[in-house]
Chains A and B, each alone.
Chain A
Amino acid sequence: MIATGNRLRRDDGVAQSVLERLGPASGGVETRALLQLTPEVAEDIAPYDAVIFIDADAGATELGLAQLDELPSSAVLTHVSRPADIVALSRALFGFTGRAFLCRIPVDDLSLGEGLSRRASAIAAQATEMVRALLSSPDTN
């Protein structure tokens, strides 16, 4: 599981909050909290059976957890990559054959500062349950 975001931009840190709520990783699950996705993450995920990206999304209207559309989404991939880009690169360059999921958490407060808004905190609890259910489902096992 890869949680992406900057905890100094308030709700942008919601993914890392989800990781904390899930508790210590176990049963072959490994977690990583990253400020941003960069191309070398493509190599990092290659050995795994499945990858779950968790990220704040200011453009999302509702919480979602779904198998990732693996078509590269961006014509311009530079310092920061999108989950679909990472998965596409990993498959092409490093032999990733697993499944990929993206949990998008709607947020609206990305101002400078620490701590989640009340809304983001509530949605983080729902996202945690969603991810927990996915982890225990056959899809990821």
Chain B
Amino acid sequence: MSRQIVIQPVTRIEGHAKISIQLDDSGQVQSANFHVTEFRGFEKLCEGRPFQEMPGLMSRVCGICPVSHVLASSKAGDMLLGVEIPPAAEKQRRLVNYAQILQSHALSFFHLSSPDLLLGMDAPAAKRNIFGLLEKDTDFLRKGIRLRQFGQRVIELVGGKRIHPSWSGPGGVHLRFSVEQRDEILAWIPEAVDSISMALDRLKGLLDSFHVEVEHMGNFPSLFLATVNGQGSLEYYEGLIRIVDGKGNTIADGLDPRRFFTFLGEASEDYSFVKFPFYLPFGYPQGHYRVGPLARLNVAKFAGTARADRELREFKHRGADQECEGVVCESFHFHLARLIEMLHCVERIEELMTDPDLFGENTQAKASLNRREGIGSCEAPRGTLFHHYWVDKDGLMTKADLLIATAQNNQAMNLAVEQTARHFLRPAANGAPPDEGMLNRLEAAIRCYDPCLSCSTHALGQMPLIVELTGPGGILLRRITRESCFEHS
């Protein structure tokens, strides 16, 4: 008799989700899907509001990466005004974006994924958390918490508060950057570099023991999409889109993110509230692509900062050994890519501290409404983010469309879940639940992408995951519901 396994809730991710696995009569995995089960419709809330309110409103989409939404929204507002913002404003936005990527990646790596990496995929579920890490390696955990603290502190210093900073809006930013802020930030830099270097060494030392997971937890060729600057290096705030394939071929380059709707489409499936974006010329589903840390490192020719470039060269060799020349296709290496990006962000933050533009007095370009359509994009921690707004003659929002990073990884997460299930899942013949380590690997495959489901559905609330096991005809045979890991606040 065929069966279906359902994991619900998926833990240590941001949002509501479940995994369902369909088994055939012989107990082999027939198919597997990652379902996002929350719905919010945030875009609808915007209609009728003044576009100037959008950065503040959009930041509420997410408590983890609100800065990304503030920046994309502010840039859409800049376009509606038809202005080029002052250098001080641009540098502040860049600074806060680096800080946000740093803190978000620190959360993903140290708090959410390190329990799997340091304690093992098969460690008891009750131990696979940061209290388990506390027993294993106090110094590692302390460094992780302080790294996130650093990122949060920069956001607070520049943006006014750690979560939902509202210092940026159409035309620029509302606050000036001071020498005192610079000095406090500079004082953090050596410790941050040291902590990330420690984590990099630790992870690289662990990879051999995870070679099966590296090989079978979401290892497949795909397109990769990211923003790069004019020289082809990592770029997080303003640049052009490049798409490469799984063999390193450049599929498209120099694409204007403000015209994203001309080269990206969105499909939907009835089992998920998250859309399935795809590269239009390739169609759906062949045109699915990945974004985020792995994509950015695959797409960029170099990082542009010394330490990160050394790591990036080594990283690209992981792809050079395979058919994919210089392109790393293993989802597991999102973790490594995340750490390299953290190093790069700290280096860029340090560079900005000596940039006189950052201290400029003029932080606002004044203008009234000059366009009826505005688009803003940036690289968010989880990938490329697009905000597309339409306004009436009075500047009131008539429509908003958000293309979120996590949604762009949706198809890849589904493929990763299916590949992981096919390799690792061995349901007991007597109907007993699958081994806990097997289930954890299914979740870990998703955690590689650090999905933010609140963002991708623009939803709020709790973040459980469900795994369902179904048999022929869709008969539910087993449902496993995990403890929610998110309180009401």
Contact of B63 with A92 in the complex, beta carbons under 8 Å = no
Complex interface: stretch among A21-29, A36-44, A117-125, A133-141: A36-44
Expressed in whole angstroms, the Cα–Cα distance for A110 and B488 within the complex equals 8
Complex interface: stretch among B128-136, B219-227, B230-238, B258-266: B128-136
Contacting residues of chain B (116-144) with chain A, CB-CB under 8 angstroms: 125-126, 129-131, 134, 138, 141-142
Convert A71-89 into 0s and 1s, putting 1 for each residue whose CB lies closer than 8 angstroms to a CB of B.
0101111111010010011
Interface residues on B, range: 20 to 34
Determine how close the nearest CB of chain A comes to the CB of B429; give it in whole angstroms: 29
B60: A residues at CB distance < 8 A: 8
Question: Which residue of chain A has the shortest Cβ distance to B45 in the bound complex?
Answer: A112
Contacting residues of chain B (465-489) with chain A, CB-CB under 8 angstroms: 482-483, 485-489
Determine how close the nearest CB of chain A comes to the CB of B163; give it in whole angstroms: 5
Determine how close the nearest CB of chain A comes to the CB of B26; give it in whole angstroms: 34
Contact of B485 with A78 in the complex, beta carbons under 8 Å = yes
Contact of B134 with A89 in the complex, beta carbons under 8 Å = yes
Partner of A35, one of B111, B141, B163: B163
Expressed in whole angstroms, the Cα–Cα distance for A118 and B460 within the complex equals 25
Interface presence of B152 (CB below 8 A): yes
Interface presence of A99 (CB below 8 A): no
Partner of B485, one of A55, A76, A110: A76
Expressed in whole angstroms, the Cα–Cα distance for A36 and B161 within the complex equals 13
State the majority secondary structure of interface residues on A. loop
A78-B11, A88-B131 are known contacts. Are A56 and B488 too (CB-CB below 8 A)? yes
A85: B residues at CB distance < 8 A: 131
Number of A residues near B (Cβ < 8 Å) is 34
Contact of A79 with B14 in the complex, beta carbons under 8 Å = yes
A36: B residues at CB distance < 8 A: 63, 163, 487, 489
Contacting residues of chain B (1-59) with chain A, CB-CB under 8 angstroms: 11-12, 14
Expressed in whole angstroms, the Cα–Cα distance for A110 and B60 within the complex equals 16
Partner of B486, one of A39, A79, A89: A79
Determine how close the nearest CB of chain A comes to the CB of B440; give it in whole angstroms: 12
Interface presence of B64 (CB below 8 A): yes
Contacting residues of chain B (50-85) with chain A, CB-CB under 8 angstroms: 60, 63-64
Convert B84-122 into 0s and 1s, putting 1 for each residue whose CB lies closer than 8 angstroms to a CB of A.
000000000000000000000001000110000000000
Contact of A55 with B148 in the complex, beta carbons under 8 Å = no
A110: B residues at CB distance < 8 A: 488
Partner of B149, one of A34, A40, A55: A40
Interface presence of B301 (CB below 8 A): no
A8-B60, A35-B63 are known contacts. Are A72 and B142 too (CB-CB below 8 A)? no
A35-B164, A77-B129, A89-B145 are known contacts. Are A5 and B485 too (CB-CB below 8 A)? no
Contact of A93 with B63 in the complex, beta carbons under 8 Å = no
Interface presence of B423 (CB below 8 A): no
A39-B111, A39-B148, A58-B488 are known contacts. Are A76 and B134 too (CB-CB below 8 A)? no
Convert A1-21 into 0s and 1s, putting 1 for each residue whose CB lies closer than 8 angstroms to a CB of B.
000111011001000000000
Expressed in whole angstroms, the Cα–Cα distance for A90 and B125 within the complex equals 23
Question: Which residue of chain B has the shortest Cβ distance to A75 in the bound complex?
Answer: B126
Contact of B12 with A94 in the complex, beta carbons under 8 Å = no
Interface presence of B146 (CB below 8 A): yes
Partner of B145, one of A35, A43, A74: A43
A9: B residues at CB distance < 8 A: 488-489
A12: B residues at CB distance < 8 A: 488-489
Expressed in whole angstroms, the Cα–Cα distance for A76 and B103 within the complex equals 19
Determine how close the nearest CB of chain A comes to the CB of B162; give it in whole angstroms: 8
Which of B125, B483, B488 has the largest number of chain A CB atoms within 10 A? B488
Contact of B489 with A4 in the complex, beta carbons under 8 Å = yes
Expressed in whole angstroms, the Cα–Cα distance for A29 and B197 within the complex equals 38
Interface contacts beyond A36-B163, A43-B149: sample of 9 additional A-B pairs, CB < 8 Å, sorted by A: A38-B148, A75-B125, A76-B12, A76-B482, A77-B131, A79-B14, A79-B64, A80-B485, A93-B134
7 closest Cβ pairs, A-B complex? A76-B485, A40-B149, A36-B489, A93-B142, A78-B485, A39-B145, A75-B126
B residues sitting closer than 8 Å to A (CB atoms) are 11-12, 14, 60, 63-64, 107, 111-112, 125-126, 129-131, 134, 138, 141-142, 145-146, 148-149, 152, 163-164, 463, 482-483, 485-489
11 A-B pairs whose Cβ atoms sit less than 8 Å apart in the complex:
A9-B489, A35-B163, A35-B164, A36-B489, A39-B111, A40-B152, A43-B146, A56-B488, A56-B489, A76-B483, A89-B145
